[in-house]
């Protein structure tokens, strides 16, 4: 009887040890904030957030032995949410700029973005020089918003919650043009007859991942994971999936 009790106790101890080991090896959650209206970086397809940023973040989470959870929020709330700790990372085709660096840190760059100008095919706007005094549509709080406000004045900027809303305003002749990233611009032009992109680039910028200033450990882990994804060719594979070589 005593032998049975000893065996039972040993078995219970082993069970508890295995349970503790399993808990210790369980995956944590990496919460990513994005604004899923920015194809091909993030957009909704069949009810799911997909795109370059979503797949890249999932690959990073896998390397960190974490499960990715994506929150679709207003673009302007991402930096504040990351800074406060509400979200672990902000990934939304986000440019590193001085204002944002006051609130958050950024990872190494993972892609280069180009800001362009969308106009109607019969528009009198033929170059960047023609933008003076025109009504310019932008997505609020983006670098397109920031740069164009500095260049052309607050009175000439019309802000929208989504880039698609700005494009529809252009289609409806409520504004004269839209300044937005080149990749979603191509998608918008493809899906709206009578629009074109000016040949001149408005701005070139680097995209990176926003991380809270006091989270140096996560910043290092994300940068290490990014470096591995670049070295393995995985990051380029993800980009090529959504932006085929022309």
39: its two tokens:
């194809």
pTM summary value: 0.78
**131: alpha, beta or left, given left = phi > 0 and alpha = psi -120 to 50?**
alpha
Q: Which residue has the higher pLDDT, 13 or 154?
A: 154
* CATH topology identical between 25-110+208-242 and 114-204: yes
In angstroms, the CA 124 to CA 139 distance is: 23
**114-204 belongs to which CATH class?**
alpha beta
Measure the CA angle with vertex 208, ends 203 and 213; round to 5°.
125
Counting residues of the chain whose pLDDT is more than 70, the rounded percentage is 89
* Superfamily of domain 25-110+208-242, CATH level 4: Periplasmic binding protein-like II (3.40.190.10)
In angstroms, the CA 39 to CA 77 distance is: 19
The confidence score (pLDDT) of residue 47 equals 95
Mean pLDDT across the stretch 61-72?
A: 97
pLDDT at 41 over 50: yes
Mean pLDDT across the stretch 40-58?
A: 96
The confidence score (pLDDT) of residue 244 equals 79
Q: Which of 10-19, 116-125, 200-209 has the lowest mean pLDDT?
A: 10-19
The domain locations on the chain are 25-110+208-242, 114-204
- Contact call for residues 177 and 118 (beta carbons, < 8 A): yes
pLDDT at 179 over 60: yes
The confidence score (pLDDT) of residue 201 equals 94
């Amino acid at each position: 009887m005593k032998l049975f009790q000893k065996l039972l106790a040993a078995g219970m101890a082993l069970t508890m040890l295995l349970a503790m080991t399993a808990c210790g090896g369980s995956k944590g959650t990496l919460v990513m904030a994005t604004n899923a209206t920015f194809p091909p970086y993030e957009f909704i397809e069949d009810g799911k957030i997909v795109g370059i940023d979503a797949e890249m973040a999932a690959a990073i989470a896998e390397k960190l032995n974490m499960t990715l959870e994506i929150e679709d929020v207003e673009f302007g709330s991402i930096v504040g949410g990351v800074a406060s700790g509400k979200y672990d990372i902000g990934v939304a085709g986000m440019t590193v700029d001085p204002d944002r660096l006051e609130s958050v840190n950024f990872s190494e760059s993972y892609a280069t973005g180009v800001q362009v100008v969308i106009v109607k095919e019969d528009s009198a706007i033929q170059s960047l020089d023609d933008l003076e005094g025109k009504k310019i549509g932008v997505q609020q709080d983006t670098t397109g918003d920031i740069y164009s406000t500095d260049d052309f004045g607050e009175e000439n900027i019309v802000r929208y919650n989504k880039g698609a809303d700005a494009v529809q305003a252009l289609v409806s002749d409520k504004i004269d043009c839209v300044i937005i990233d080149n990749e979603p611009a191509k998608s918008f032009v493809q899906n709206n007859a009578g629009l074109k992109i000016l040949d001149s680039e408005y701005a070139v910028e680097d995209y990176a991942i926003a991380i809270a200033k006091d989270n140096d450990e996560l910043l290092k882990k994300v940068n290490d994971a990014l470096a591995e994804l670049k070295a393995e060719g995985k990051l380029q594979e993800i980009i090529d999936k959504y932006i085929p070589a022309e």
